[in-house]
Structure 1
Amino acid sequence: MASEPPREVSIVIPVYGSEKILAELVRQVDEVMTEKGRHYEIIFVCDQSPDQSWNVITRLAQEYETVRGILLRMNAGQHNALMAGLAQAQGEIIVTMDDDLQHAPRDIPSLVEQVENGFDVAYGRFTSRKHPLWKIVGSRINNLVAGYLMHKPMDLYLSPFRAFKAVIRDEVLRYQGPYVYVDGLILTVTRNIAQVDVAHQERHAGDSRYGLAKSLSLWMKMATNFSIVPLRITSFLGLVFAGVGFLLALVLIIQKFTLDLMPIGWSSLIVTVLIIGGVQLLAVGMVGEYLGRALLTLNARPQYVVAQRVGGDGADPGAVEQEQKSA
């Protein structure tokens, strides 16, 4: 009885500022996947990288039949770029990873095997991390918040190094909004998730461009796209401070009729006004954030716009295609 041919694997990699890394990344992936006898493709999504990454991707697509490239017309962000790659992936199993070789290609087969064994999704769980302390702490806080906002299992570590079935990809792509958070979308369609211990390596070259601002933006996507808890928190704060205000008013009335002495001290009054005003502005800002995202979704703001594609199906490296994923 002939053995079943290996499943085809699509490896989707957003690219930003990694021109010196891509050739080595492809070499390592090709070495691992060839050794395992896997039919695979690599889909690089160049998110308007400021360096020569697109030129490198074009050259690699000419050298390797397994390499495809997508150039976005405008910078869309990591998760939006992932959506562009997922839409083009042809594999039965899709793997996503970063472009900096901190995710070791040798661990890809382990993630794929977990999906083949029946899990819908397999996340890489790093045994140690080569990130700055602030980023490690921020990641842990993000996981705790995700557990509360999206009911994520507390022992599940969300990482960008993941593998999942094509049917999960199809469900993720049904999301039409402009603010994409892939892990949140995955958690809305399945809880059949495995974790695999993987290595976390030093960045192969250059410096990471994923700073604090992008981390905060990702947190806002998670908080406002998949939960109304922030609105409930602001409502609760408003209720608490309203209660405190009524209590203070009651105290002042009692003092007026018993001691006939109004409290002296403008500083305490100013502090109270500032606190209450701050809570009100927080509530208004949070409501505005939700309304703004709803408005952009209704206005069909695109998740990404494709300017050019190379590799696969004989695509012309110089061809420009006007494509977009509409919100």
Structure 2
Amino acid sequence: MAADLPLPPAAALALSFVIPVYGSEKVLPELVSRLQAVLDTLPAVRGSYEVIFVCDRSPDRSWHVIQQLSAQYPWVRGILLRMNAGQHNALMAGFAQARGAIVMTMDDDLQHAPSDIPALLDELASGRDVVYARFKNRKHASWKIAGSRLNDMVAGYLMQKPKGLYLSPFRAMRAEIVRDILRYRGPYVYVDGLLLSVTRNIGTVDVEHHDRFAGDSGYSLRKSISLWLKMATSFSIVPLRLTSFAGLFLAGLGFLLAILLIIQKFTIDKMPIGWSSLIVTILIIGGAQLVALGMLGEYLGRVLLTLNSRPQYVIGDSIGLLAADDQNHKDL
């Protein structure tokens, strides 16, 4: 098992960017150029920032491009994961190495404009622990927008997310908040859930959402469902309670029907042949039982993998980071 990168000394830099990378070899040079153009104009962070690209085992030449950019820009660093771990797990790999007093995250496709960085930093400076970018108009497919709205409603119910807070990948947070969420060692990571578990001092900034600079998104429907399951089962027991309530409802309904059938037997004295209704009832109750068992199995499976110390990510290579001899490695 690979060792986890330790948390370096806090506030070694003013600002750290952690950006997961997947299928973005054509975007990265332009992204780095725009980041530098914005960050060098900010007196508070000029010359004291870093960008950590976490290559989530991208199938293209993204890692090769990151290596070239690191040789060209001393503030560009890279982590190559040995296996694809997912966006949120990749973020944890970058957080573990971030050295900034402020840590920001964004997507690698330039749908999040670097020109909006000052607005997030200004809101964070007002006393917030975390600041999210809230997009006025989203350049995503309809199913993604609908899924995001559903996810927003479910997060509000399961995790008591403040009303009106949009959980976007474009965010800024203080280093102490990052250190708090790095204490989480489970294999199923949902960064927004972790942030909501350590602070509610969260602000938002309205920004524009832009078209993808190049290529196609690697975020499929399957990955979106997987992320939803992480949120639902890793940070709340509400699904278990819902299955309990569903079981109680079906049991009560069955008890009521039993009473009605007894009354019918003594008043009408003629029991109609009810094969169809019987089969429907069996299917409903059997389906509810299977859903409940599946939910329990999902929780138990996650507990088993956590107890077996399944790693959040496995690092295959890195560039521009602290020397291995200067790190105190700790297994996940």
TM bracket, shorter-chain basis: over 0.9
Instruction: Pick from 227, 231, 242 the counterpart of residue 222 of structure 1.
Output: 231
Instruction: Pick from 24, 28, 37 the counterpart of residue 22 of structure 1.
Output: 28
**1:104, distance to aligned residue in structure 2 (A):** 0.4
- Is 1:168 aligned to residue 174 of structure 2? no
Structure 1 segment 170-189 matched on structure 2, within 5 A: 170-189=179-198
- Is 1:125 aligned to residue 134 of structure 2? yes
The one-character-per-residue Cα deviations of 1:95-143 (angstroms, maximum 9, x if unpaired) are 0000110000111121122222211001000011000111111111111
Any idea what SS the aligned residue of 2:74 has?
coil
Structure 1 segment 1-327 matched on structure 2, within 5 A: 8-37=14-43, 38=45, 39-313=48-322, 326=332
- The answer (yes or no) to whether the contact 2:120–2:171 under 8 Å persists in 1 is yes
The structure, 1 or 2, with the larger RCO (C-alpha pairs under 8 Å, 6+ apart) is: 2
Structure 1: distance between partners of 2:331 and 2:164: 34
Structure 1: distance between partners of 2:272 and 2:259: 13
Structure 2: distance between partners of 1:285 and 1:248: 27
- The answer (yes or no) to whether the contact 2:167–2:192 under 8 Å persists in 1 is yes
Any idea what SS the aligned residue of 1:188 has?
helix
**1:211, distance to aligned residue in structure 2 (A):** 1.2
Structure 1: distance between partners of 2:182 and 2:95: 8
Structure 1: distance between partners of 2:69 and 2:323: 14
What TM-score, normalized by structure 2, do the two folds share?
Answer: 0.92
User: Given the superposition, is the C-alpha separation of residues 312 and 231 from structure 1 closer, same or farther in structure 2, using an over 3 Å criterion?
Assistant: closer
Structure 2: distance between partners of 1:239 and 1:312: 55
| Same amino acid, percent of matched pairs | 66
Query: Which consecutive residues of structure 1, in runs of 5 or more, have no partner in the other structure?
Result: 1-5, 316-320
Structure 1 residue ranges (4+ consecutive) displaced by more than 2 angstroms after TM superposition:
312-315
Structure 2: distance between partners of 1:56 and 1:270: 60
Structure 1: distance between partners of 2:252 and 2:80: 55
- The answer (yes or no) to whether the contact 1:67–1:312 under 8 Å persists in 2 is no
Structure 2: distance between partners of 1:165 and 1:55: 31
Aligned residues: 316
Quote the residue 1:3 is aligned against. Answer: none
The one-character-per-residue Cα deviations of 1:269-326 (angstroms, maximum 9, x if unpaired) are 11111001000000010011111100000000000011101124579xxxxx9x7861
Aligned-residue RMSD, C-alpha:
1.7
Structure 1: distance between partners of 2:222 and 2:125: 37
